[in-house]
Amino acid sequence: MSRYQTHAEDCGEILKEELAAGRLGRRQLLGLMAALGATTALGGLGGRAASAASGELVLCNWGGDAVKAFTEAFKAHYDSGSPLKMVVEGGGPSSGKVRAMVEAKNVIWDVCDSGAGDSIVMGKAGVLEEMDYAIIDKAKMIPGFAYETGCINYTFGVVLAYNAEKYKDNPPKTMADFFDLKKYPGRRMLRKRALAMLECALLADGVPMDKIYPIDVDSALKKIGSIKAESLYWSSGAESQQLLRSGECDMGLLWHTRAHLLKRDSDGRIDWTFNQGILHPGMWIVPKGNPAGKKAAMEAIASMQAPEGQVKLLELMANGPANPAATALVPAELKPINPSDPANQKVMLASDGRWWGEHSPTVEQKYADLISS
């Protein structure tokens, strides 16, 4: 099965676009790319690959250049309270790479930016350290996203976006609306990966949020198949944005970070809602045998729970804070784009990474078979 673009990698694409449009400075860009684990898109901007060395805490994000810079949110705060200095390695911490390093006993990363399902898969494979919640404070996390071998670092959402001009008299508000071709005619857009698409399908069928998991895969696939004749599928965040912006699709399920940009750049012609969206966590993980040691890695993660830097990330990239204490620091104008805001969380379904970690390979293949047949 082909590799999917991660949300972190798409954040890198967004930041590069913002730089080119003059809405983001280069210094801001470099720091944000490091914080997001999304440096893949920054080819040609300079930097170096960090390596584990004495006196360093190496954080691995999603690749490439600009690794010297780090955000004030994470690096400056960490460095001020630690004998170690944090550096960024742009190696792209895929499950395969992490597992290969651990099995070869040649680990060069201390903390990695990963996903919820991946943290479960790698944890079961025995290549990750268990989170030490005596050091990392669960009270500084959104409930439900403190896993055995991974913990939340920021939030993002899969949301419903739509052409507000076409549906101006009765805009879609629910997943049932998204799947209703009679009431809302037009081309639909879904992701090429099953993650979140199955949940949206079951919500459309009227399944209550607290009954979505374990997912009834066959029912979800049947629902998705019911609109297949009017559906296109995206592989990258940029593609999802283009399909809606161009008018090729009238309604779509996509990352809220892209939906936010669509609304801004189209002056509201494309609108979106958090209602019945899927709330996802990014996750910190720690490979077994990390050079700085397990305790140092846990202390670094604890440092990155500071809410101020997380609010800065929301301001510039619309990724939500992981620490509930950040809510009080979020300016009023940013609350509508913050998936972590209590009002927005209330209308969203929290993704169950544990379920996906257990079932992803089989389910993703079934979904791929459906949409490609």
Question: Do the beta carbons of residue 256 and residue 337 sit within 8 Å?
Answer: yes
Structure confidence at residue 24 (pLDDT): 62
Q: Is the pLDDT of residue 28 over 70?
A: no
Position 20 confidence tier, pLDDT thresholds 50, 70, 90 = low
Position 319 confidence tier, pLDDT thresholds 50, 70, 90 = confident
Mean pLDDT of 216-229: 98
Mean pLDDT of 173-200: 98
Mean pLDDT of 214-220: 98
Q: Is the pTM of this model over 0.75?
A: yes
Structure confidence at residue 69 (pLDDT): 26
Structure confidence at residue 75 (pLDDT): 81
Mean pLDDT of 34-53: 42
Mean pLDDT of 228-254: 96
Residue 206 CB coordination number (10 Å): 10
Report the range of poorest mean pLDDT among 10-24, 198-212, 231-245: 10-24
Structure confidence at residue 70 (pLDDT): 31
Higher local confidence (pLDDT), 343 or 45: 343
Q: Is the pLDDT of residue 2 over 60?
A: no
Structure confidence at residue 40 (pLDDT): 42
Structure confidence at residue 26 (pLDDT): 54
Q: Residues 288-318: pLDDT tens digits?
A: 999 999 999 999 999 999 999 888 778 867 8
Q: What is the mean pLDDT of the chain?
A: 87
Structure confidence at residue 90 (pLDDT): 64
Report the range of poorest mean pLDDT among 28-32, 222-226, 227-231, 238-242: 28-32
Higher local confidence (pLDDT), 330 or 65: 330
Report the range of poorest mean pLDDT among 58-62, 254-258, 279-283: 58-62
Structure confidence at residue 48 (pLDDT): 33
Position 62 confidence tier, pLDDT thresholds 50, 70, 90 = low
Q: Residues 120-143: pLDDT tens digits?
A: 999 999 999 999 999 999 999 999
Structure confidence at residue 286 (pLDDT): 98
Q: Is the pLDDT of residue 272 over 70?
A: yes
Structure confidence at residue 71 (pLDDT): 38
% residues pLDDT > 70 (the chain): 84
